[in-house]
Structure 1
């Protein structure tokens, strides 16, 4: 099994590999993982659709289906677009993003990246998606995930599905209130427009039981 680069011009290891550098500055594959489990963004949620990948991507065939892996997130083709999905248990990748977090559970070292848990296999030097440890469910990402969005964390134990639904509905509400859509904008908006968008989005999420950071 090998990850299959989606772009033919990708012939070197991505700089975001987790690993320990050897004396000749090559990566030896040993994991380090000193992040917090979430990168600076975007923080995608299962069910979200994208038109193109935010980073280099790999096609990863698994059990007769094609998955795509990019920047710690997993996708499935959906028409001309790609849908963010939870990775199936047992699928493997050769790198994790540098924001992955070490998690020690009962003496076993796991890695948490974008809400999914991985175990590192020394023999194959890859990472295998595993079930979340008991008492450690997949943590949902913030309900908002855009450079203009507020950060909102579920405060009432909302499920990932509820987080996804609330995030999208409050995004729609903020677009209606402000007239600004950050997902389609091709210009730098006026600061007052951004403030109106963020205030509307934050108020909506707060009313639904989220801790909002402006």
Structure 2
């Protein structure tokens, strides 16, 4: 009887795990192994991404949720996820889904006079609410990537002079609050000139001149 029980236990340990057991979150404190990486060299993109089908225990921070049809998707760093039980599986996005911003790294392609953006096996085209996932446009295979524009020259930091005798401590407080306000203006994060104009307007309204 003991031999039969031992054989049964050995067979149970050797059997493959059921699907729900394979995707059960790891116990607290156990390190989650990194995802299998896939190299995307198309259009000289030359970046690594998690392989489609990989299941993440949690979403990366700052992921963007997008509802499309009757499904929920999440987007982060050029990678798309869908809920998979209590976890999230890496997937290819459906055609037509729109994301409000492009991934941090992408390749720009001009095809037929229209700009397209490529990253991680996905093509994006400008849409009213951001960028829509589209099918590979005709001629994409032979398209030459547009070289990225050089980064803009940093603007010199302005010097502010109080017009009403504000103290150095008050100047620092006003500068900090105006910086926070300026970063919240539409387009300020991507366009330094918008940020600078908003900051200058805020400081002027608080009684400072700049040069």
Alignment TM-score, normalising by the size of structure 1: 0.42
Which has the larger Rg? 2
Alignment TM-score, normalising by the size of structure 2: 0.43
Q: Larger relative contact order (C-alpha < 8 A, sep ≥ 6)? A: 1
